[in-house]
Amino acid sequence: MPGTQQGIATLADTDKLNHDFVTCPFCGLHCDDLSVASNGGKLTVTKNGCEKAKAGFEHDVPSAVPQIGGKDATLPEAIAEAAARLNQSRQPLIGGLGTDVEGMRAVLALADRAGGVVDHALSAAMSRNMGVLQTKGWFMSTLTETRNRADLLIIVGVDLAAEHPRFFERIASPAEAMFDGDADKRTVVLIGCGGNAKSGVKGGRIGDVIEIACQAEEIPPLLGALRAVLKDVPHTAPPPAGIPAATLTDLAGRMKAASYGVAVWAPHALTFADADLAVQMVSDIVRDMNKTTRFVGLSLSGNDGAQSAASVCSWQTGFPLRVSFASGAPDYDPYRHDVARMLKAGEGDLLVWISSFGPVPVAPPETDLPMIVIGSPNIKLARAPDVFIPVGTPGLDHGGRLVRCDSVVSLPLKRLRSTPLPRLTEVALNIEAALQRT
């Protein structure tokens, strides 16, 4: 049985190593050019880390042991208790899902056997994209393609320097790009990105920066007005948010003149009501533009392993997240199988919460239900769960793979230090093996 280490989970190993080409798991860009020094379990980012990476790699992880009902237990005891709880459950809800590809594979095997519902903590954001993908589809790009080709970037509804700190350095304004000339200076347009976004748009390749300020919920109608201008549809109403019509006319001209325009959004930043309309409108504009020039979308999602969870779930079940295995076969319903909603509505009898990425692991929603937490030792919980099993963080404590936000590139993760913490994969597979039902 893997992961049978008992006793106090200290990190007092004697590692002292420098690791290069380290993949950062702490946002969906998954930059892999970091250098990280490991010294007795303490990690320090020595090259190419943004503030999110530093916070993620460098925070102290308290020692932790499995617990049952708030009392220390051995790992086999905790696994047996988790299996017993799942055996008793008539409708387990398996949420969080902050893990890597390997962890997600094991979670799906467990959910399949336990008849559970699986849903990621960031599924609401992913659903904004999925709804559009499943309705009309889209035309998308990837990070390297954008880095080398983009001559116009339209950023919609997100302060990228805050959300994905290295976007401008690595993607929008790289030191070198393959197709000099058109892509030499890039125009950056910010639509409804908030007041601080412009100050983060930096880099030697950045040309004009055009800020179109509006409230988040004004983004869809503003994009609608832009689309009308692009299509030469007569419109009498002025654009929303007091934007001068000339601003949209100017933007439309730049878009038509661009060789490779890229519309960038981050679904987790589009938190207003009906935000999927913004994704829909961006996708429609991109689709229209390709009739004459080249234009693509780029969605920067995938924080907290969300892209990995959605991709693995899609290839193993056919559906992105919010899948129930209760019937014995995958059943996809992005509204019904929302774990947070199901908790509120009393539609489950056990919560299994998985969250292995720090520095502040996503905590479970408030619930009175029995709860199994499998997560990073520094997860903050409002109450002691019925079973707690601390696990390592992918890419720090063990190897693995993560799917990047563009859903094309997957990155290998390194083990940077030794730790007594087990991998989620081992924990989930052992719980599955102990389930009574076949």
Partner 1 sequence: MLIKLKGGRVYDPANGVDGEVRDIHVRDGRIVAADPSAKVDAEYDVSGRVVMAGAIDPHTHIGGGKMTIGRMMLPEDHRGHEVHRTALTRSGTGFAVPSTLAAGYRYAEMGYTAGFEPAMLPANARQAHMEMGDTPMIDKGAFAMLGSDDFLLRQMAARQDFEAIKDYIAWTMHASQAIAVKVVNPGGISAFKFNQRKLDLDEAHAHYGVSPRDILRTLARGLKELGVVHPLHVHGCNLGVPGNVDTTLATIRAMEGLPVHLTHIQFHSYGTEGDQKFSSGAAQVAELVNQHGNVSIDVGQILFGQTCTASGDSMRQYGNAKSAHPKKWVMMDIECDAGCGVVPMKYKDKSFVNALQWAIGLEIFLLVDDPWRVFLTTDHPNGAPFTTYPHLIRLLMDKGFRADMMQKIHPDAQKASILASLDREYSLYEIAIMTRAGPARSLGLADRGHLAPGAWGDITIYKDNADREAMFTTPEYVFKNGELIVRDGKIVKVVQGATHVARPDYDKGIEKSLRDYFTRYHTISFDNFKLHDDEIIDFDRGSIVVQPTGARV
Positions 166 through 225 that interact with partner 1 (CB under 8 A) = 170-171, 174-179
Distance (Å, rounded) from C-alpha 39 to C-alpha 14? 7
Number of residues near partner 1 (by CB under 8 A): 71
Question: Could you say which residues in the range 32-61 bind partner 1, by CB under 8 A?
Answer: 32-33
Among 15, 81, 119, 145, binds partner 1 (CB under 8 A): 145
Q: Which helix (H) or strand (E) holds 427?
A: helix 424-433
Interface map 400-429 toward partner 1 (x if CB under 8 A): xx-x---xxxxxx-----------------
Closer to partner 1 at the Cβ: 109 or 340? 109
Site string for partner 1, 306-345 (x = CB under 8 A): ----xxx-xxxxxxx----x-xxxxxx-------------
In the numeric block, which tokens belong to residue 253?
Answer: 């001209």
**CB nearer partner 1, residue 18 or residue 74:** 18
Nearer to partner 1, 227 or 414 (CB): 414
Closest CA to 167 of 306, 300, 303: 300
Instruction: Round to whole Å and give the CA distance between 267 and 276.
Output: 8
Q: How far is the CB of 139 from partner 1 (least distance, A)?
A: 4
> What is the rounded distance in angstroms from the CA atom of residue 260 to the CA atom of residue 148?
10
* Per-residue CA distances from 36 to 33, 58, 237, 341, 423 (Å): 10, 9, 55, 40, 21
Which CB, 138 or 265, lies closer to partner 1? 138
Q: Where are the beta strands (DSSP E) in 270-337?
A: 294-299, 323-324, 331-332
Query: Nearer to partner 1 by C-beta: 329 or 345?
Result: 329
Stretch that binds partner 1, among 18-26, 206-214, 337-345, 350-358 (CB under 8 A): 18-26
**What spatial distance separates the first Cα and last Cα of the chain, rounded to whole Å?**
20
Stretch near partner 1 under the rule CB under 8 A, chosen from 31-39, 241-249, 272-280, 362-370: 31-39
Residue 133 CA to residue 136 CA, distance in Å, equals 6
CA 308 to chain centre: 8
Compute the least distance from the CB of residue 330 to partner 1, in Å. Answer: 5
Q: Does 148 bind partner 1 (CB under 8 A)?
A: yes
Nearest-angstrom CA–CA distance, 293 and 226: 17
User: What is the footprint of partner 1 within residues 112-141 (CB under 8 A)?
Assistant: 112-113, 130, 133-141
